[in-house]
């Protein structure tokens, strides 16, 4: 700790940290643009100028840039000195010379860092009388608007996009006052983390395009803390509502999980909440096959009738723990199925088994960024758990950070660290089915079928510690990958092994566990990250079910009643089995938010609330329970699924389900021994701050309250009272001292933009004040087991059978593979067409080439062909969730034939 004197007042600061960060951590106000906690300092904007004095006698001082100056003990600086203030005012005046008169029609207005800094610097009147420089804009795809006139040349966009996210198609062009930030030519921004530019850009050059279509100012948005439902990473989000529609999703800082950034699936994948296919009423199928609308009471009664004499319950990895628990209690453990496909369910059990052995640390995303060697075994993380890929990308920088440290370069000195580190990178080894986007960073890659990747994994563990059994013989390239991986990982201090469920192969998970355990036994701090598919896959896995999905469906086919919770089972089980279950079951009750193939076949449909209209808990890949809060009240008869289920339980004469309040359900969840931590994931409904206030969902300048509803009724409705959570449905209450799990929006006086998040952190870029939200539930002490003998390689046949048919393997697309986000318009627009990947030899045999089409009669689907040299014969890889496919590939081999009538879609996406 160093002591620094700022304008005569002493503050504690970290020695070596940059002065700007120290000043902001001390909650002082100093304007800045180009610095960002995750992007470091480059000293480009000259906005954070302060005066530094040599000693007590020095009254003149000299002007320095706070972001480029390391803190030293006894340092004397002034933010308020007239010279520093004048300098900052001049800088902002120069920056504003060419700034267009756009604020009223700019989506950044009201949460604009440039507006805030202009006000903070005291620049109020324009003195420049010359003409303004202008630029042409570019079309950048369905996610972002581009408005280059507003640029202040801080370079944050390219530094984020290229250096942090690894994008290549956004560059800085031109020189002098004509700097241009854009693509070489107009077109879709390719990087799947491009949406963060909305929050990274301090002004309105990059703005949220879907949000702009029905734009609302930040001060008019009603928001609540939430958790992304897009994948198993569980990034913290702030979804916002106005006029009953979900308008946008912004990042909610969590120092342990997502930090400052989200992926584009998370940011733009919420559109289904506003979809026309939303179910709002209770429907019961009449004799003629059409749904009749019935009242909520009748619906409860009917659901009660269905479950009274016992029913099979199918839960869901995309429903909250609370709803899954309600179903589990309603139908009983022996009739409850997690809703994961049978294959995935087995893998989830395996993952929990691995984690509960406690053999290796389960890393948070922040810890992934700190790993100094990473092995990815089989999982295409960019497409299945995207935010993990962004964290892995940062881990590769650790080598250059270490070099910088040795050379005495402060780590925030971005340009210095990068030029000193140059090509050096921490090792990243990627073993995957197909080449992945992370391969460009990898020191060694290896492609193969899941079984051979698993064999490679077992071989690595064996090389690290011969007590771990090796698998079958490996071919040359794989053997060299194994040798390299073993050498690299055993040298590392914080190695990390990543795998997951997406290839539906247990060998990969076992091999990953063996490697991590073998590394741990060598004494290093090994991490093991196993991803699942959906937001609550891990949660339902921990809740556990008595039967798997196929067994449940067979029981339904044999005449059991069926209750399906927020789950399109047609995506997860064999279509014939699902069809026989629906036709054989006495009654099929479905609770869901959107119409889908399962609700089509139901006899009773009940409208369930989405994440935005309900409060509940998701458990992410690391076993972190995180609460999401209702953003706005559901309309009509829509209710959280647990409420329907508990009411139906009460109607069916159950005495243990009289839950009125979500906290009661949370308590019931927490009574499960594995899920005790759920109760502490966020404060319960009774929480109030020190002054006895709730946390407001709406900012204090929320407008239009006496007119919003006046078109319907001049008499203003009573403000809705929130019975469930510590948040209020208005601006009443107070922000500031709430626990981080209740941060419904970030704002601080003078800081209207999301940069104000530092006011809620312990130190800039650190944990949230009061600790990062969420409770980790899977951290276990190493169990007394023989780790080396726990998982043994299996001998599985690899290769073609020579009958000309194909074994299908799954791959995923960040856009389109996930069920709900795939139904959001911008995501659907960005997603690829259904595709199939064939080996070069097989493509030649079928006489198809890249871009042509093949048909699969068994799946009744057509795919665009992609050819991948390395793919073995007899294998074909299809993208899940696209072109009518669900989340599972058929286990039987299928035939493929060229489709001469296939018309490739035009690649041009509609402009505008």
Partner 1 sequence: MWSQLRSLGTVFKHLFTRVETVQYPEEMPYLAPRYRGRIVLTRDPDGDERCVACNLCAVACPVDCIALQKTEREDGRWYPEFFRINFSRCIMCGMCEEACPTYAIQLTPDFELCEYDRNNMVYEKEHLLIDGVGKYPDYSFWHVAGKAIDGKDKGEAQKEKPPVDVRSNLP
Asked if 701 interacts with partner 1 (CB under 8 A), we say: yes
d(CA 519, CA 463): 11
Cα–Cα separations (whole angstroms), residue 562 to 313, 340, 641? 6, 16, 15
**Identified binder of partner 1 from the candidate list 27, 168, 212, 671, rule CB under 8 A:** 212
d(CA 711, CA 588): 41
From residue 162 to residue 201, what is the string marking binding to partner 1 with x (rule CB under 8 A)?
Answer: -----------xxx--x-x-x-------------------
- Are the C-beta atoms of 777 and 677 separated by less than 8 Å? yes
Q: Which stretch binds partner 1 (CB under 8 A): 362-370, 538-546, 700-708, 734-742?
A: 700-708
Asked if 150 interacts with partner 1 (CB under 8 A), we say: yes
Give min distance, CB of 127 to partner 1, in A. 13
DSSP assigned state of 40: B
d(CA 721, CA 206): 37
**Identified binder of partner 1 from the candidate list 7, 58, 243, 297, rule CB under 8 A:** 243
The DSSP bridge pattern shows strands 428-432 and 444-447 to be: parallel
**Identified binder of partner 1 from the candidate list 1, 690, 714, 903, rule CB under 8 A:** 714
**Identified binder of partner 1 from the candidate list 2, 28, 64, 103, rule CB under 8 A:** 103
Give min distance, CB of 705 to partner 1, in A. 4
**Number of residues engaging partner 1 in binding (CB under 8 A):** 46
Asked if 104 interacts with partner 1 (CB under 8 A), we say: yes
Token output for 87: 């300098």
- Are the C-beta atoms of 865 and 853 separated by less than 8 Å? yes
- Are the C-beta atoms of 540 and 317 separated by less than 8 Å? yes
Token output for 819: 């069920």
What are the φ/ψ torsions at residue 806 (nearest 5 degrees)? -120, 140
Tokens 């359900």 belong to residue: 665
Asked if 828 interacts with partner 1 (CB under 8 A), we say: no
- C-beta atoms surrounding 721 within 10 Å: 10
Asked if 108 interacts with partner 1 (CB under 8 A), we say: no
Give min distance, CB of 607 to partner 1, in A. 25
**CA angle in degrees (0–180, nearest 5) for 206-207-208:** 135
Radius of gyration of the chain (CA): 28
d(CA 96, CA 150): 9
Q: Which stretch binds partner 1 (CB under 8 A): 135-143, 259-267, 348-356, 777-785?
A: 135-143
Residues in contact with 107: Cβ distance below 8 Å, sequence separation at least 6, in sequence order: 145, 204, 207, 208, 211, 212, 215
**Identified binder of partner 1 from the candidate list 54, 63, 105, 286, rule CB under 8 A:** 105
d(CA 486, CA 551): 41
Asked if 109 interacts with partner 1 (CB under 8 A), we say: yes
d(CA 835, CA 824): 20
Asked if 134 interacts with partner 1 (CB under 8 A), we say: yes
Q: Which is nearer to partner 1, 269 or 699 (CB)?
A: 699
Asked if 102 interacts with partner 1 (CB under 8 A), we say: yes
d(CA 842, CA 878): 14
Q: Which stretch binds partner 1 (CB under 8 A): 250-258, 699-707, 777-785, 860-868?
A: 699-707
Asked if 101 interacts with partner 1 (CB under 8 A), we say: yes
Asked if 16 interacts with partner 1 (CB under 8 A), we say: no
d(CA 776, CA 363): 11
Q: Which is nearer to partner 1, 443 or 825 (CB)?
A: 825
Look at residues 321, 331, 319 and name the one whose alpha carbon lies nearest to residue 547.
Answer: 331
Q: Which stretch binds partner 1 (CB under 8 A): 105-113, 221-229, 417-425, 768-776?
A: 105-113
Asked if 700 interacts with partner 1 (CB under 8 A), we say: no
Q: Which is nearer to partner 1, 422 or 715 (CB)?
A: 715
- Cα end-to-end distance, the chain, whole Å: 53
**Identified binder of partner 1 from the candidate list 33, 135, 611, 729, rule CB under 8 A:** 135
- C-beta atoms surrounding 417 within 10 Å: 20
Asked if 147 interacts with partner 1 (CB under 8 A), we say: yes
Asked if 251 interacts with partner 1 (CB under 8 A), we say: no
Q: Which stretch binds partner 1 (CB under 8 A): 127-135, 277-285, 331-339, 360-368?
A: 127-135
Q: Which stretch binds partner 1 (CB under 8 A): 145-153, 259-267, 835-843, 881-889?
A: 145-153
- Are the C-beta atoms of 265 and 192 separated by less than 8 Å? yes
**Identified binder of partner 1 from the candidate list 706, 795, 906, 907, rule CB under 8 A:** 706
Asked if 132 interacts with partner 1 (CB under 8 A), we say: yes
Give min distance, CB of 196 to partner 1, in A. 23
Look at residues 193, 233, 226 and name the one whose alpha carbon lies nearest to residue 532.
Answer: 233
Give min distance, CB of 46 to partner 1, in A. 22
Give min distance, CB of 760 to partner 1, in A. 23
Count the alpha carbons within 13 Å of 421 in the hemisphere toward its beta carbon.
24
Alpha helices in 340-385 (DSSP H): 342-356, 365-370, 381-384
Asked if 100 interacts with partner 1 (CB under 8 A), we say: yes
Report the SS3 class of residue 141: coil
**Identified binder of partner 1 from the candidate list 11, 87, 94, 219, rule CB under 8 A:** 219
Asked if 857 interacts with partner 1 (CB under 8 A), we say: no
d(CA 100, CA 44): 21
Q: Which stretch binds partner 1 (CB under 8 A): 217-225, 526-534, 615-623, 664-672?
A: 217-225
Q: Which is nearer to partner 1, 207 or 254 (CB)?
A: 207
Give min distance, CB of 826 to partner 1, in A. 16
Look at residues 727, 640, 554, 556 and name the one whose alpha carbon lies nearest to residue 321.
Answer: 640
Q: Which is nearer to partner 1, 186 or 794 (CB)?
A: 186
Strand ranges in 281-340 using DSSP code E only, listed in sequence order? 282-285, 291-294, 311-314, 336-337
Look at residues 271, 213, 223 and name the one whose alpha carbon lies nearest to residue 251.
Answer: 223
From residue 403 to residue 442, what is the string marking binding to partner 1 with x (rule CB under 8 A)?
Answer: ----------------------------------------
Q: Which stretch binds partner 1 (CB under 8 A): 439-447, 689-697, 707-715, 883-891?
A: 707-715
Q: Which is nearer to partner 1, 558 or 710 (CB)?
A: 710
Concatenating the DSSP letter of every residue in 79-130 gives SS-HHHHHHHHHHHHHHHTT--S-GGG-TTTTS-HHHHHHHHHT--S----S
Give min distance, CB of 148 to partner 1, in A. 9
Asked if 124 interacts with partner 1 (CB under 8 A), we say: no
Q: Which is nearer to partner 1, 135 or 863 (CB)?
A: 135
What are the φ/ψ torsions at residue 278 (nearest 5 degrees)? -65, 145
Q: Which is nearer to partner 1, 422 or 911 (CB)?
A: 911
Asked if 130 interacts with partner 1 (CB under 8 A), we say: yes
Asked if 732 interacts with partner 1 (CB under 8 A), we say: no
- C-beta atoms surrounding 439 within 10 Å: 15
Asked if 736 interacts with partner 1 (CB under 8 A), we say: no
Q: Which is nearer to partner 1, 3 or 213 (CB)?
A: 213
Q: Which stretch binds partner 1 (CB under 8 A): 27-35, 267-275, 708-716, 849-857?
A: 708-716
Tokens 């628990």 belong to residue: 325
Q: Which is nearer to partner 1, 181 or 355 (CB)?
A: 181
DSSP assigned state of 635: P
Token output for 453: 């990747």
Give min distance, CB of 533 to partner 1, in A. 37
Q: Which residues bind partner 1 (CB under 8 A)?
A: 100-106, 109-110, 130-137, 147, 149-150, 173-175, 178, 180, 182, 212-217, 219-220, 243, 701-708, 710-711, 714
């Amino acid at each position: 700790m160093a002591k620094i004197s700022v304008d005569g007042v002493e503050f504690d600061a970290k020695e070596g940290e940059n002065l700007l960060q120290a000043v902001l951590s001390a909650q002082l106000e100093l304007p800045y643009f180009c610095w960002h906690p995750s992007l470091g300092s480059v000293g480009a904007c000259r906005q954070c100028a302060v005066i530094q004095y040599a000693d007590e006698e020095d009254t003149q001082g000299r002007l320095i840039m706070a972001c480029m100056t390391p803190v030293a003990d006894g340092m004397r600086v002034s933010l308020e000195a007239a010279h520093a203030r004048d300098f900052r005012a001049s800088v902002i005046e120069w920056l504003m010379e060419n700034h267009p008169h756009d604020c009223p029609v700019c989506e950044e207005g009201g949460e604009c860092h440039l507006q805030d800094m202009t006000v903070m610097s005291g620049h109020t009147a324009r003195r420049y009388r010359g003409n303004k420089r202008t630029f042409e804009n570019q079309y950048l795809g369905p996610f972002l608007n581009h408005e280059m006139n507003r640029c202040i040349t801080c370079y944050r966009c390219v530094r984020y996009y290229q250096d942090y996210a690894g994008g290549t198609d956004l560059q800085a062009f031109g020189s002098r006052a004509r700097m241009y930030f854009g693509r070489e030519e107009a077109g879709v921004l390719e990087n799947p983390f491009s949406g963060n530019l909305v929050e990274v850009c301090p002004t309105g050059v990059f703005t949220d395009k879907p949000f702009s279509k029905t734009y609302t100012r930040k001060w008019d948005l009603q928001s609540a803390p939430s958790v992304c439902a897009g994948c198993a990473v569980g990034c913290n989000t702030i979804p916002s509502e106005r006029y009953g529609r979900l308008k946008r999703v912004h990042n909610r800082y969590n120092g342990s999980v997502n930090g400052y950034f989200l992926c584009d699936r998370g940011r733009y994948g919420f559109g289904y909440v506003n979809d026309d296919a939303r179910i709002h009423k209770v429907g019961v199928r009449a004799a003629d096959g059409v749904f009749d609308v019935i009242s909520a009471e009748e619906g409860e009664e009917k659901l009660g009738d269905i479950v009274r004499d016992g029913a099979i319950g199918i839960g869901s990895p995309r429903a909250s723990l609370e709803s899954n628990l309600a179903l589990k209690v309603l139908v009983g453990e022996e009739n409850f199925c997690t809703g994961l496909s049978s294959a995935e369910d087995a893998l989830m059990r395996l993952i929990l088994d691995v984690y509960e052995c406690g053999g290796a640390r389960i890393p948070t995303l922040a810890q992934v960024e700190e790993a100094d060697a990473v092995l990815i075994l089989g999982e295409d993380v960019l497409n299945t758990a995207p935010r993990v890929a962004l964290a892995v990308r940062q881990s590769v920088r650790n080598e250059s950070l270490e070099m910088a440290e040795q050379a005495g370069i402060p780590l925030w000195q971005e340009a210095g660290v990068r030029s000193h580190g140059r090509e050096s990178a921490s090792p990243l080894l990627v073993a995957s089915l197909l080449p992945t986007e992370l391969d460009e960073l990898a020191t060694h890659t290896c492609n193969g079928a899941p079984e051979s990747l698993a064999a490679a994994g077992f071989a690595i563990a064996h090389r690290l510690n011969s007590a771990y059994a090796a698998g079958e013989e490996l071919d040359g390239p794989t053997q060299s990958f194994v040798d390299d991986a073993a050498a690299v990982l055993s040298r590392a201090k914080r190695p990390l092994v990543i795998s997951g469920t997406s290839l539906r192969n247990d060998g990969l998970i076992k091999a990953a566990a063996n490697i991590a355990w073998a590394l741990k036994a060598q004494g290093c701090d090994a991490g093991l990250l196993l991803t699942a598919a959906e937001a609550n896959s891990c949660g339902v896995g921990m809740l556990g079910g008595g039967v798997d999905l196929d067994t449940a469906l067979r029981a339904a086919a044999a005449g059991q009643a069926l209750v399906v919770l927020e789950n399109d089972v047609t995506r997860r089980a064999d279509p014939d089995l699902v069809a026989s279950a629906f036709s054989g079951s006495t009654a099929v009750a479905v609770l869901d938010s959107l119409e889908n193939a399962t609700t089509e076949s139901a006899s009773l449909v009940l409208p369930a609330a989405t994440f935005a209209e309900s409060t509940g808990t998701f458990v992410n890949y690391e076993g972190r329970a995180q609460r999401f809060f209702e953003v706005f009240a559901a309309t009509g008869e829509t209710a959280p699924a647990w409420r329907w289920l508990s009411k139906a339980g009460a109607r069916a004469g159950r005495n243990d389900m009289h839950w009125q309040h979500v906290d009661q359900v949370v308590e019931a969840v927490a009574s499960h021994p594995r899920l005790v931590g759920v109760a502490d994931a966020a404060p319960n409904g009774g929480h109030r701050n020190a002054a006895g206030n709730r946390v407001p969902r709406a900012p204090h300048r929320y407008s239009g309250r006496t007119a919003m509803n006046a078109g319907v009724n001049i008499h203003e409705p009573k403000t809705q009272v929130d019975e469930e959570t510590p948040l209020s449905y208005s601006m009443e209450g107070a922000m500031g001292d709430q626990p981080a799990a209740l941060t419904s929006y970030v704002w601080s006086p003078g800081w209207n933009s999301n940069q104000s998040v530092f006011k809620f952190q312990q130190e800039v870029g650190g944990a949230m004040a009061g600790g990062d939200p969420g409770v980790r539930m899977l951290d276990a002490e190493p169990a007394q087991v023989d780790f080396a003998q726990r998982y043994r390689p299996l001998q599985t046949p690899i290769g073609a059978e020579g009958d000309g048919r194909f074994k299908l393997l799954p791959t995923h697309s960040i856009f389109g593979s996930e069920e709900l986000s795939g139904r959001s318009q911008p995501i659907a627009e960005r997603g690829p067409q259904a595709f199939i990947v064939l080996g070069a030899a097989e493509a030649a045999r079928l006489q198809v080439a890249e871009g042509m089409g093949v048909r699969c009669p068994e799946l009744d689907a057509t795919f665009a062909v992609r050819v991948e040299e390395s793919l073995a014969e007899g294998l074909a890889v299809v993208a899940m969730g696209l072109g009518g496919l669900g989340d599972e590939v058929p286990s039987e081999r299928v035939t493929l034939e060229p489709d001469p009538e296939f018309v490739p879609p035009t690649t041009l996406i509609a402009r505008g």
